[in-house]
Amino acid sequence: MRSKLFVPGSRPELFSKALATAADAISLDLEDAVVEARKPEARAAVSDWLRTAAPAASGKIIIVRVNAIDSVHFEADVQAVALAGVHVINLPKPESPDAVRAASEAIGRAERANGVKRPIGMLLNIESPKALRMAAALATADPRVVGLQMGLADLFEPLGIFRGELAAIQQTMFAVRLAAGEAGVYACDSVFADTDDVAGFRAEAALARRLGFIGKSCIHPKQVALANEAFRPSDTEISHALRVLAAAREAEAQGLGAYLVDGKMIDGPFLARARAIVASASQLGVLIAQTEDRSPAQSGKA
């Protein structure tokens, strides 16, 4: 999920247009993008569209961001959108493991009522100081949780932290990524509000990828290509990963646990990373063939 494109739930004319973009996922938003007076209307529009064949036929990951669990809209939102065409429900502003479990139970009730057979995942927004401090506890609170998502504007603005402060962004990203890693779920980057600042978007996306995030949220279709580019494994990474896998097979045959590839020692963690890169490249259809200039790996005891 390199790119996740937000679409206001109150704009049904944009739903099919979002599906036509290159975004890996679309996130229909019933929370911040919808004013209070139009929330019931947006809920109905999203629910009706999810019951059509279009979402499943698109092959995209379908996400719905509902209103917070302590809002008057949460139960109605979940009942309306916990449908077979939805892969993930995005829960904003969770503040405790109990809240996460309560949200999961509500989704379960809606699944049963709507005849949904495949469990719907939960993506938790980390957008308050408490949530950041408790991120690992939130992520491990329920098996339904599949990921953590950064919410930098909600986290920074009330505290007077400049949204572009690199040190704050790095520390928050690192904390969220480690919490996601502890829970064995993915981490997704925040939105970048300045749609005209291409360089800024690219820089933040590159940082997120270096810190192990799987992708970035987008608020405009023109950001989708930037996110897809940023989170695509490079040809250099793919080529190196293929050499690592080839060397691993050779080392296993020789009974070696550690070996050298491109002058670097390789063992378990590096092998796991190489497998992940190759799997991602294969899924994206960008797996390149090993070239003849690939030198044999240097195997040896470490």
Whether residues 188 and 246 fall in one domain:
no
Strand 145-150 and strand 121-126: the pairing is parallel
Please check whether residues 181 and 146 belong to one and the same domain: yes
Same domain (yes/no): 201, 239: no
Task: Identify the residue with better confidence: 283 or 12.
Answer: 12
User: Any idea what the CATH number is for the domain that residue 46 is in?
Assistant: 3.20.20.60
Same domain, 35 and 80: yes
Residue 68 lies in a domain: yes
Distances in whole angstroms, Cα of residue 87 to Cα of each of 66, 70, 248? 13, 23, 35
- Answer yes or no: do 220 and 251 share one domain: no
302 found inside a domain:
no
Q: Which amino acid is at 230?
A: A
Distance (Å, whole) CA 2 – CA 89:
18
**Same domain assignment for residues 194 and 280:** no
Give the number of domains in the chain.
Answer: 2
Length of the chain, in residues: 302
Average pLDDT, the chain: 91
The predicted structure's pLDDT at residue 239:
82
Co-location of 219 and 241 in the same domain: no
Most confident of 135-139, 254-258, 259-263: 135-139
Residue 272's domain comprises 235-284
Residues 135 and 261 both lie in one domain: no
Crossing angle of helices 198-210/166-183, nearest 10°? Answer: 40
Task: For residue 295, name the pLDDT band (cuts at 50, 70, 90).
Answer: very low
pTM, whole model, 2 decimals? 0.85
- Is the same domain home to 242 and 226? no
pLDDT tens digit sequence for 151-207: 999 999 999 999 999 999 999 999 999 999 999 999 999 999 999 999 999 999 999
φ, ψ of residue 30 to 5 degrees: the values are -105, 0
Q: Are residues 280 and 201 in the same domain?
A: no
244, 215: one domain: no
Residues 210 and 105 in one domain: yes
